[in-house]
Amino acid sequence: MTIQFYSYPKCGTCRKAKKWLEENRRDFNEIHIVENPPSKEELKDFYEKSGLPLKKFFNTSGKKYRELGLKDKVNDSSDEELLDILASDGMLIKRPLSAEGSKVTLGFKEETFEDTWK
């Protein structure tokens, strides 16, 4: 299977993750997370498969996150509201977002990639 790899070209973490996938000869489909963000339905699917809290899907260090004052909203909103917010702008999503079948990872930690994608 091919990993769906949502990334942002200017993101250093995304470049590290991409390099890891290439060095480990994993097939992946790179998707520009801003130009082609995952839909609300895709995000819901990734969230359910990941086993992570939905707030982990937010790029909390991003400018857009701070501009929209999402820190409090993330704790007080329903999953449906949070999915709507995430789907509204790819810059709000923690990246890279990698998914294949039932596996999903957020961000890049070499150890996590080793465990999940090797």
Lowest mean pLDDT among 29-38, 63-72, 108-117: 63-72
pLDDT score of 39: 98
Find the radius of gyration of the CA atoms of the chain. 14
Mean pLDDT of 75-102: 97
Share of the chain above pLDDT 70, in %: 100
Helix, strand, or coil (residue 117): helix
Side by side, the strands of the sheet bearing 28-32 are: 28-32, 3-7, 97-100, 103-106
- Report which secondary-structure segment, H or E, holds 6: strand 3-7
Query: What are the boundaries of each domain within the chain?
Result: 3-117
Q: What is the mean pLDDT of the chain?
A: 96
- What are residue 49's phi and psi, to 5 degrees? -75, -30
pTM of the model: 0.95
What's the CATH superfamily of 3-117?
Glutaredoxin (3.40.30.10)
Degrees, nearest 5: CA angle 113-96-43: 105
Read off the pLDDT of residues 24-37 as tens digits, 9 standing for 90 and up: 999 999 999 999 99
Mean pLDDT of 54-71: 94
Residue 72 pLDDT > 90:
no
What residues contact residue 36 under an 8 Å CB cut-off, 6+ apart?
90
